[in-house]
């Protein structure tokens, strides 16, 4: 009986956040791939909402829904298939990195890496920078996907509905 009472207690806000205590679930321990995928998307949507970027993301989603842009994983879904793709349009799945610019400047990349820009320049000149960089005039551009890989940031596959649900939750609106 005590176990049941744990599950029916009202959710308690997590440290003053708009997210609830239930959002501290470790996705790696979830066995149901559908649920893990949904939580990943909702968390990203909530983060984008809190950072104030969700209006731009909504425009991206509108383009996906209007077939003016194809989701970046739609071709892969046709062959391998995400579990939930059978109930939703595969073109509405995309990689989270699709929301970011393809390249950023070396200054920002060095900041993300935790090194000084001058150190990044030295590494590039010595051929020891951990991933390829592109020369753009007198400056360098770094691939965001390469930087994500270097920092072990997963490029999650997300669904439009999950992102929007997480953003809605973070904004404090009820569904």
What's the pLDDT tens digit per position in 35-55? 778 888 888 899 889 989 888
Indicate yes or no: pTM above 0.75: no
Q: What is the pLDDT of residue 171?
A: 84
Q: For residue 23, what pLDDT band results from cuts at 50, 70 and 90? A: low
Is residue 64 within 8 A of residue 91, CB to CB? The reply is yes
Pairing type for strands 103-105 and 157-159 reads unpaired
pLDDT above 60 (res 162): yes
The whole-angstrom separation of Cα 19 and Cα 22 is 8
Alpha helical stretches, state H, 91-150: 106-113, 117-125, 144-150
């Amino acid at each position: 009986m005590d176990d049941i009472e744990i599950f029916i207690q009202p959710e308690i806000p997590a440290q003053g956040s708009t997210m609830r205590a239930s959002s501290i679930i470790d996705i790696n321990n979830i066995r149901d791939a559908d649920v893990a995928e949904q939580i990943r998307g909702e968390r990203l949507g909530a983060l984008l909402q809190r950072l104030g970027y969700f209006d731009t993301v909504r425009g991206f989603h509108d383009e996906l829904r209007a077939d003016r842009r194809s989701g970046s994983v739609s071709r892969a879904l046709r062959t391998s298939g995400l579990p939930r793709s059978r109930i939703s349009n595969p073109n509405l799945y995309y990689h989270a990195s699709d929301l970011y610019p393809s390249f950023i400047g070396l200054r920002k990349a060095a900041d993300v890496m935790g090194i000084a820009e001058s150190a990044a320049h030295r590494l590039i000149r010595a051929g020891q920078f951990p991933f390829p960089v592109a020369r753009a005039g007198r400056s360098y551009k770094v691939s965001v996907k390469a930087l994500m890989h270097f920092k072990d940031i997963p490029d999650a596959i997300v669904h439009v509905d999950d992102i929007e649900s997480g953003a809605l939750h973070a904004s404090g609106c009820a569904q």
